[in-house]
A and B are shown apart, each in its own frame.
Chain A
Amino acid sequence: MAKIIKKGIWILICATLGFVFLLPFLWMISTSLMATEQIVKYPPDLIPSPVTLRSFKYIFENTKFFTYLKNSCIITSINIIGTVVSTTLVAYGFAKYDARLKGLWFTLLMSTMMIPYFVTIIPQYNIYAKLNLINTFVPLTLPNILAGSGFSIFLLNQFFKDFPREIEEAARIDGCSEFGILFRIVIPNAKAILFVVAIFMFVWTWNDYFGPAIYLSDQNKYTLSIGLTFLNSSISGYQDALDQGPVMAMALLSVLPIIILYACFQKYFVKGIIDSGIKG
């Protein structure tokens, strides 16, 4: 009996906390489906009735939502491909080959992860400005194409180090080239960890606000996160500032891909955090 009560209390605590953790998302969903009258009413409701899609209609008709979405998709795809390809090569190099200065390079790699982005962003901005690359996607993607994600390198490096050397040696004796070994033997076995790298890059790029806010000032180049703050600040100037509907609709649409990805693949998200946290 005491055991059942204990379990009941435990579930109650977890469920209450869980509800609080999910509240922003529940709020987003319900408010974006409400009519204006229901949103401004007090006390607030959690269940929309009647359900209306007018906030979404507003977003599609009055903002450049599809432009923002397209831009976010382009930047995110480039970063995913760029990071997967480049960090695979770099991590493999660090894991399998030796050079006199390897230790130094690895220390540098790890210590660059500690540098606050505020330090590098100011000179970088000025360099990109001189090269006329402001309002392009170059500053937002080049770092990832050039293996800028220390997290990915670290994660892949761990995996490659654990990969049995005998298999590679056997392939080498059979006349397989170094790139052949990587692409035909190691990578087919690294799909899971590469997927972890890809989904984390997706989430980071998709959620990134700082980079796009600095480098993109042309509305046609905005990403979803910038578009959302833009909508938020342009709406709050009007008298219907209390109507959160459109902002919630856009917020929901912009986190929806992450919700879906997480719902399908949470195990990979967990793996990424634990592998980088515990082994590090």
Chain B
Amino acid sequence: MQPKKSAKYFYMFISPWLLGFFLLTFVPLVYSIYLSLTEYSGLSAPTFVGLQNYKDIFLFDDIFRKSLFNSIVYALLAVPTSLILALVIALLLTKESKISSFFQIIFFFPSIAAGVAVYTVVKFLLKGEGGLLNYILSIFHIKGPNWLTDTKWAMIALVIANLIFCGQQMLIFLAGIKQIPVSYYEAAKIDGANSIQCFFKITFPLIAQVFVFNLIMGIISAFQVFVQPLVMTGGGPFKKTYMYGMYIYDSGFGFGRFGYAAALAWIMYLIILFVSRVVLKLVERLMHFEE
């Protein structure tokens, strides 16, 4: 096909996306930069205030610091734990069999169904008085805490609850592991390697890319976590689980400070970009080092 004709069809076919990109991403992004430099309640016209919002956020805003801290803590706890659990389950299911695929279906399911309904149920299961988890613990003579209302435990409870949604990562690991030729393991076995050596010398290096993919996607989504804490703790107790995303939401839709919320959101974006870049660079360096 001639280049000119090809270009015509190209733009014809992608026109829905182009329109959507322009109207729903590009214009809002530019508008959002502008909004972040204004004071805007949504009712009267925005007033330009320059970098005042950013200055207020960095210099005076305690809730900003607190919610950012909470989100970082959540990401630091939730991302590694769910990655490790996903990897362990994937290793448990590596052997092809009817039973493996049955369990694979079960472990994958919660990550598909994740939403308000499931979080609501988990909240009931974690209730301090009369909740199922504490009842099970009491059988072993352990007195469970008030998971979601104790300042020491609320964050940990969210991280634990998050574990049952690791199914997608598990599947991606599993697919990566299954691509490794069996002959590698057979050769290692002949050389007398045990299964732990096999994991660290064969499996892990060969799924490293998949691991990085899961890690970065995990960081991005953990940092934006919103619905789970909203339903389960509402950000409490005493703002111990009040996440950065909840603060952006409240600033805009709760307190009617859209300019401020836009500035907060841009800071979030920059942090995510920065963190994923750093993680990627670190991993790259580590891999080179091993070679």
Residues of A within 8 A of B (CB): 10-11, 13-14, 17-18, 20-25, 27-28, 31, 40, 42-44, 86-87, 89-90, 92-94, 96-100, 102, 105, 108-109, 112, 114-127, 129, 142-143, 145-148, 153, 178, 203, 206-210, 214, 225, 228-229, 232, 242, 244, 247-248, 250-252, 254-255, 258-259, 262, 266, 269-270, 273-274, 277-278, 280
Q: Which A residues touch B42, using CB under 8 A? A: 126, 129
Contact of B224 with A118 in the complex, beta carbons under 8 Å: yes
Instruction: Identify B92's interface contact among A14, A105, A147, A208, CB under 8 A.
Output: A14
Interface residue? B248 (CB, 8 A): yes
Contact of A207 with B130 in the complex, beta carbons under 8 Å: no
B201 CB, min distance to chain A CBs, angstroms:
22
Interface residue? B84 (CB, 8 A): no
Interface residue? B116 (CB, 8 A): yes
Q: Which A residues touch B188, using CB under 8 A? A: none
Instruction: Provide 15 A-B residue pairs closer than 8 Å at the C-beta atoms, listed in order of the A residue.
Output: A21-B107, A22-B106, A28-B117, A42-B130, A89-B16, A90-B14, A118-B249, A123-B35, A126-B42, A214-B253, A251-B116, A251-B118, A255-B117, A269-B108, A270-B104
Q: Which B residues touch A252, using CB under 8 A? A: 117
Given contacts A21-B109, A24-B118, A209-B115, is CB(A122)–CB(B32) below 8 Å? yes
A40 CB, min distance to chain B CBs, angstroms:
8
Q: Mark B157-190, 1 if CB is under 8 A from A, else 0.
A: 0000000100110011001100100000000000
Q: Which A residues touch B116, using CB under 8 A? A: 207, 209, 225, 228-229, 251, 254
Q: Which B residues touch A208, using CB under 8 A? A: 115
A122 CB, min distance to chain B CBs, angstroms:
5
Q: Which B residues touch A210, using CB under 8 A? A: 226-227
A164 CB, min distance to chain B CBs, angstroms:
16
- Alpha-carbon separation in the docked complex, A159 to B118 (Å): 33
Q: Which B residues touch A232, using CB under 8 A? A: 120
A275 CB, min distance to chain B CBs, angstroms:
9
Interface residue? B287 (CB, 8 A): no
- Given A122-B252, A232-B120, 11 other A-B residues pairs in contact with their CB atoms under 8 A: A100-B7, A116-B272, A122-B32, A126-B31, A142-B24, A206-B115, A209-B116, A247-B120, A254-B117, A273-B168, A274-B171
Q: Classify the secondary structure of A's interface with B.
A: helix
- Alpha-carbon separation in the docked complex, A228 to B121 (Å): 11
Contact of B220 with A21 in the complex, beta carbons under 8 Å: no
Contact of B109 with A145 in the complex, beta carbons under 8 Å: no
Task: Please count the residue pairs between chain A and chain B whose beta carbons lie under 8 angstroms apart in the complex.
Answer: 256
Contact of A97 with B224 in the complex, beta carbons under 8 Å: no
Residues of B within 8 A of A (CB): 1, 3, 6-7, 9-21, 23-25, 27-29, 31-32, 35, 40, 42, 89, 92-93, 99, 103-110, 112-118, 120-122, 124-125, 130, 132, 135, 164, 167-168, 171-172, 175-176, 179, 210, 213-214, 220, 223-224, 226-227, 231, 245, 248-249, 252-253, 258, 261-262, 264-266, 268-269, 272-273, 276
A98 CB, min distance to chain B CBs, angstroms:
5
Query: In this complex, what residue of A is CB-closest to B32?
Result: A123
Contact of A97 with B7 in the complex, beta carbons under 8 Å: yes
Instruction: Identify A225's interface contact among B3, B117, B264, CB under 8 A.
Output: B117
A239 CB, min distance to chain B CBs, angstroms:
16
- Alpha-carbon separation in the docked complex, A24 to B17 (Å): 38
- Alpha-carbon separation in the docked complex, A20 to B106 (Å): 10
Given contacts A105-B14, A126-B42, A228-B120, is CB(A269)–CB(B112) below 8 Å? yes
A230 CB, min distance to chain B CBs, angstroms:
10
Q: Which B residues touch A145, using CB under 8 A? A: 16, 20
Instruction: Identify B125's interface contact among A27, A89, A100, A112, CB under 8 A.
Output: A27
- Alpha-carbon separation in the docked complex, A145 to B125 (Å): 39
Given contacts A21-B109, A146-B19, A203-B112, is CB(A112)–CB(B25) below 8 Å? yes
Q: Which B residues touch A116, using CB under 8 A? A: 220, 223-224, 265, 268-269, 272
Contact of A126 with B35 in the complex, beta carbons under 8 Å: yes
Q: Which B residues touch A117, using CB under 8 A? A: 224
Q: Which A residues touch B226, using CB under 8 A? A: 210
**6 A-B pairs closest in CB distance:** A93-B13, A146-B20, A207-B115, A97-B10, A251-B117, A99-B7
Contact of B118 with A255 in the complex, beta carbons under 8 Å: yes
Q: Which A residues touch B29, using CB under 8 A? A: 115, 119-120, 123
Query: In this complex, what residue of B is CB-closest to A88?
Result: B13
Contact of A124 with B28 in the complex, beta carbons under 8 Å: yes
Instruction: Identify B172's interface contact among A142, A153, A203, A274, CB under 8 A.
Output: A274
Q: Which B residues touch A143, using CB under 8 A? A: 20, 24
Q: Which B residues touch A214, using CB under 8 A? A: 253
